[in-house]
Amino acid sequence: MGRLDGCAAMITGACGGLGRALARGFAREGASLFLTDVDASGLERTLDELRSEGATAHALAADLRSGASIAKLAETALKTLPSMNVLVNNAGISETKTIWDITEADWDRMLAVNVKGPFLLLQALGRHMVSNGGGSIINIASVAGRGGRPMLLHYAASKAALISITRSAALALAAQRVRVNAIAPGMMDTEMLHQLQQQWKEKAGNQSVPTASAIPIGRVAQPEDLVGTAIFLASDESAYVTGQTLNVCGGLVLS
């Protein structure tokens, strides 16, 4: 028996390194999946891979900056998997810019993807979970939301907002048996980190580029390092845990 037998989960950003790892891990533990990503062709490849491994998986491409797109996504997902009881808000973007270089368009895009999209999905699927007897919502935040990041100001602000949403939504939904928690990764070996490091090098010079030397455990995370924490938060093992943001960062930030 899997730890997520009987679970139906939506995972956003399913084509990225962490999204794929989460999907594989949830499937191994028995969850039925509904995946979404803005990359339609990448989503089809991910879906084919999972199904070839025996997973029960469905997918729909969606732009999480759009309320209309989110409404269609939620409607389709709930028709496909009416027992949906887990949401993993994993989709996100990042960008390295100095405080002077962030434009209004940069700000709006960052907060639309990293804050508005997760909130609207939380609202849509959370309402369903309330009427269905409960569930678990997991927001993928970042340790950048825990403190100042001068080269990632708009990204850090978006992740701090997501941590705040996690706390408030947890209190709003606790009596209805919907738990809301977050995971805050640090540096993780994904394409997003590699792009950030390259941007950082171009804008701030080699000496200030974040590297594994800053991490007490001595290495950057692999996406699989976060999967166990997400499974724990999705499962009944965490039935008494809500409103928490768990740092999974190799000791980069200490609670």
Q: What is the pTM of this model?
A: 0.95
d(CA 47, CA 108): 30
Distance of CA 70 to the CA centre of its chain: 15
Angle at 27 between CA 185 and CA 15, to 5 degrees: 55
Question: CA-to-CA distance for 46 and 213, rounded, in angstroms?
Answer: 33
Question: Could you tell me if 88 and 141 are in contact, meaning their C-beta atoms sit under 8 angstroms apart?
Answer: no
Grade residue 1 by pLDDT with cuts at 50, 70 and 90: confident
User: Closest by alpha carbon to 243, among 129, 132, 141?
Assistant: 141
Greatest Cα pair distance in the chain:
53
User: What residues contact residue 75 under an 8 Å CB cut-off, 6+ apart?
Assistant: none
Element (H, E) at 185: strand 178-185
pLDDT digits (tens, 9 = 90+) for 217-247: 999 999 999 999 999 999 999 999 999 999 9
Place of tokens 């048996």: 177
**Per-residue pLDDT tens for 73-99?**
999 999 999 999 999 999 999 999 999
Question: Annotated catalytic, 240?
Answer: no
From 26, 119, 155, 200, active-site residue = 155
Return the structure tokens found at 246: 């768990």
pLDDT tens for each residue of 96-129: 999 999 999 999 999 999 999 999 999 999 999 9
How confident is the model at residue 11, as a pLDDT?
98
For the chain, the helix, strand and coil percentages under 3-state DSSP, each to the nearest 5: 50, 15, 35
pLDDT at position 107: 98
What is the per-residue pLDDT across 25-62, written as a single tens digit (0 to 9) for each? 999 999 999 999 999 999 999 999 999 999 999 999 99
Residue-range domains of the chain with CATH: 8-248 (3.40.50.720)
C-alpha–C-alpha distance, residues 230 and 235, integer Å: 9
Sheet holding 57-59, edge to edge: 57-59, 32-36, 8-12, 86-89, 135-140, 178-185, 245-248
State percent of the chain over pLDDT 90: 85
What lies within 8 Å, CB to CB, of 16 at 6+ separation is 37, 90, 91, 190, 191, 192
